[in-house]
Homo-oligomer: A and B are copies of this chain.
Amino acid sequence: MARTAGSNGTRTLESIRKAGLRLIYRQGYEAMSLRQLASEVGIQAGSLYNHISTKQDLLFDLIRVHMEELIDRLDKTLEGVAGPSDKLDAFIRFHVEYHIARKREVFISYSELRSLEPKNYDAIVELRARYERRLIAVLDDGVAAGVFATADTTVAAFGILAMLTGVCTWFKPGGRMTKDEVIAVYTGLVRDGLARDADKPKAISPPPPPPAGGAPGA
């Protein structure tokens, strides 16, 4: 049969992306075979190539689109918020909510970095750095305004991001804690961690080198 009635290309591509996301999340990029992916979509393996160009390209596309949307939405969220404290709160809420909602995209964006070919890898690391710079800027503003105190805003940002991101590894909606409760706990941890008080170490001069982005190859 040449074409399953009622199907069409756009819908098939979306099925492929959705199934691909699920499988890469569950098994890893290397462990997912295109035959398995095709079977989930309900087509033959070869038919995938009417929609994607290579397996690598599918991975890159999934991660890139996710990162771009992450940044877009963050920008829209922070747009209407004024003052470092409120911006930090908004960032925390946004980050946690988005990372809970897009658990799988988030996960593969970290864990499959090493499966990306160099050119694609570079592109994603740059997107990631762009996102991190948003938080660093908020912290810098807060320090400048005297609301936050930290020895190094870049290191602090990495610490905060690692902690917040960690949530998506264990949070289960419908579990005993609501999303808002989690956010409250983390907001407390971060706010107090940055609270300005006398006995904090002062800044250790220039900011640290940017991280490799979690990629082990670096």
Hey, which bits of chain A sit against chain B, CB under 8 A?
25-28, 30-31, 104, 107, 111, 114-115, 150-152, 155-156, 158-163, 165-167, 169-170, 172, 175-177, 181-182, 184-186, 188-190, 192-195, 197, 200-201, 204-214, 216-217
Q: Which chain B residues lie closer than 8 Å to A204 at the CB level? A: 176-177, 181
Task: Give CA–CA (A16, B202) in the complex, Å.
Answer: 45
Q: Which chain B residues lie closer than 8 Å to A175 at the CB level? A: 208-209
Task: Give CA–CA (A151, B181) in the complex, Å.
Answer: 9
CB distance from A66 to the nearest CB of B (A): 15
Copies of this chain, whole number: 4
* CB-defined A-B contacts under 8 Å, sample of 23: A25-B216, A26-B114, A27-B114, A27-B217, A151-B184, A158-B166, A158-B167, A158-B170, A162-B165, A162-B166, A163-B163, A169-B214, A170-B208, A170-B211, A170-B212, A172-B209, A176-B204, A176-B208, A177-B204, A185-B201, A192-B192, A192-B193, A192-B195
- Residue in contact with A211 in the complex, picked from B30, B156, B169, B206, CB distance below 8 Å: B169
Known interface pairs A30-B31, A163-B166; A200-B216 also in contact (CB < 8 Å): no
